Structure 1
Amino acid sequence: MTLIASPSGPPPRPFGRALCAMVTPFTASGALDLDRAQRLAAELVAGGCDGLVLNGTTGESPTTTDAEKAALVRAVRDALGPGVALVAGVGTADTAHTVELARQAERAGADGLLVIPPYYSRPPQAAVEAHFRRVADATGLPLALYDIPGRTATRIEPETVLRLAEHPRIVAVKDCAYDLLGSTKVLARTSLAYYSGCEEMNLPLYAIGGAGFISTVANVAPGRMRAVLDAFDAGDTALAARLNQLTIGLAELMMASGLPGTVTVKALLDAGPVREPLQPAGRETVDGLRAAYEELVKGPVQEPTTLL
């Protein structure tokens, strides 16, 4: 497909603005549910998503097989056709395995790759840089670096990002580093597209030149998440701030409740169970999530109410 073109001025948006880190639906028995995945993908795009990230952490990539990952990309591509950006998560702790997953994702129809630093082994920055270059050289797809040291225990330091930005296929960053100063410095010196990967940073990062977001909460509220960016782009920053406040209550419940976003999303969607070691949310948590969700989706758009 032809990726969404950058606007006439900065920032670049190689995958659009509003992306959802989509959950991977399973059947009641725990098998991959491709029919439900296709329906969910179509619903998310109809609800306002420019693109989808498949096989990310929210998509339970640690517990899906390589074959399941490829099948999911193929199924969603078949359902959506060529007009929607599909970014495949291919990160592992093993460079060779990551390269193979990248090539597999390209064959399956992905438009881009999302790659984390190798986790657990905590490689030094020179090795982190070499890892990303190996993956970027392995396919013809554009690549987004995923900086999330809270999960990987390894930061992609800003100076490393600056060097990697010289690679023609490294085009974006999914930013979960909580370092707005570092992100600002890279934005000022490169043409990399910065996507917020943490809902509370969506508007702040966008306001300093970010490209948009890759959101877990967008699984259940894609239109409301996108509306924040729409208001900002229309020049109504006060409305953007109010809309952002409206989404934060639900985001906090879903992302800071002690449960992974995958669990809370699946508590709100008909997307099947989670795979172990994850466990489903308890009834009290589900009831709280549903109450907040109902207030978010049914409340007035311009006059946010307190969700917590």
Structure 2
Amino acid sequence: MNNSGSRLPAFHGTGVALVTPFTAAFAVDYDGWRRLLDFCIDGGVEYLVINGTTGESPTTSAAEKAELLRVAKEHVAGRVPLVYGIGSNDTAAAEELFHTTDLHGVAAVLSASPAYNKPSQAGLIAHYHRLAEASPVPIILYNVPGRTASNLTAETTLRLAQHPNIIGIKEASGLMEQCLTIAAHKPKDFLLLSGDDLLTPALIACGAEGIISVMANAFPKRFAELTRAALADDFATARDILFRLLPLNPLMYEESNPVGVKAALEALGVCGAAVRLPLLEATGGLKDRIRRAL
């Protein structure tokens, strides 16, 4: 557990839930990985998130996860903070990962709530308390009911926010009233981060500190500009950028995430569009529509 006695500085602004580039033979493409890291940093994002669901973490091996993190630390070389994804629906297994993962140089861990076994709110609190005690770095909760089949309620989030090693939440429930309740009652140093690209300006207007974004893989400069504008109360600029990105957003998810954003990255020459089964690479029709939208 982090015993510094204070929370780390806030992750204000734009974080990117990075994809994991693969070759045509479905091996990890480390050259593409380095290009993606540079592309996002050069675009002006504030931090990078490695090994999240957008990174296809269910289908990367433990050895690949370790190498992706090692290469990122080496290549990023402190230019921006790194956040690493650790989670499981087996609390003991997730706890063990905190002991076996090299988290030196990692600023925080993003931990999705358990999927499939649908724990009670008390079970979710117990799960996260165990992880927070095991973690040598601060934890950011990740609430994404569309993937996990359970929701971290506002009341549960606010209970967890009292733990000194839990510093924020990526909120991807899409439940605005729930997000507003968190914003209204959270500790001042607890981060509310949007987990939905299109809701970013609205949530910032209500007290969120930023976004962990999927679209920022392909549009880091535009998303960083959007988020910074909203944080500066320049909502006219934020809306203008958001409305320009609006036609692209449904294309990112039409054939599941990260299929669409990888097709966009391929069109931009950053990395290939390959994904691992059970996902399939974007169809020709979707790729064509993404190219036209770009």
Give TM-score, length-normalised by structure 2.
Answer: 0.91
Question: Could you list the per-position Cα deviations for residues 193-252 of structure 1 after superposition, in whole angstroms to 9, with x for gaps in the alignment?
Answer: 111111121111111110111111111111111221232344432222122111111112
Task: Determine the structure 2 residue equivalent to 1:91.
Answer: 87
Q: Does 1:145 align with 2:141?
A: yes
Match of 1:254 among 245, 252, 255: 252
1:281 partner amino acid: A
| 2-structure distance, mates of 1:278, 1:94 | 24
Query: Do the aligned partners of residues 234 and 114 (structure 1) sit closer, same or farther apart at CA in structure 2, a change above 3 Å counting?
Result: closer
| 2-structure distance, mates of 1:20, 1:104 | 25
Task: Determine the structure 2 residue equivalent to 1:286.
Answer: 287
Question: Could you list the per-position Cα deviations for residues 10-54 of structure 1 after superposition, in whole angstroms to 9, with x for gaps in the alignment?
Answer: xx9622310111100112221122222122111101111111111
RMSD: 1.9
Contact 1:87 1:113 in 2 (8 A): yes
Q: Does 1:208 align with 2:206?
A: yes
Q: Does 1:15 align with 2:11?
A: yes
Task: Determine the structure 1 residue equivalent to 2:4.
Answer: none
| 2-structure distance, mates of 1:34, 1:94 | 30
| 1-structure distance, mates of 2:97, 2:46 | 24
Match of 2:69 among 56, 67, 73: 73
Pairs aligned (count): 282
| 2-structure distance, mates of 1:260, 1:100 | 30
Higher relative contact order (CA 8 A, sep 6+): 2
| 1-structure distance, mates of 2:193, 2:111 | 13
2:58 partner amino acid: P
The offset of 1:80, in angstroms, is 0.7
What aligned pairs does 1:180-195 form with structure 2 within 5 A after superposition? 180-191=176-187, 192-195=190-193
Structure 1 residues not aligned, in runs of 5+: 1-5, 7-11, 294-308
| 1-structure distance, mates of 2:264, 2:38 | 17
What aligned pairs does 1:1-308 form with structure 2 within 5 A after superposition? 14-107=10-103, 109-191=105-187, 192-255=190-253, 257=254, 259-270=255-266, 271-272=271-272, 273-293=274-294
Structure 2 residues not aligned, in runs of 5+: 1-6
1:276 partner amino acid: L
The offset of 1:108, in angstroms, is 5.5
The offset of 1:73, in angstroms, is 1.1
Give TM-score, length-normalised by structure 1.
Answer: 0.87
| 1-structure distance, mates of 2:133, 2:124 | 14
| 1-structure distance, mates of 2:200, 2:103 | 32
| 1-structure distance, mates of 2:203, 2:213 | 13
| 1-structure distance, mates of 2:103, 2:155 | 32
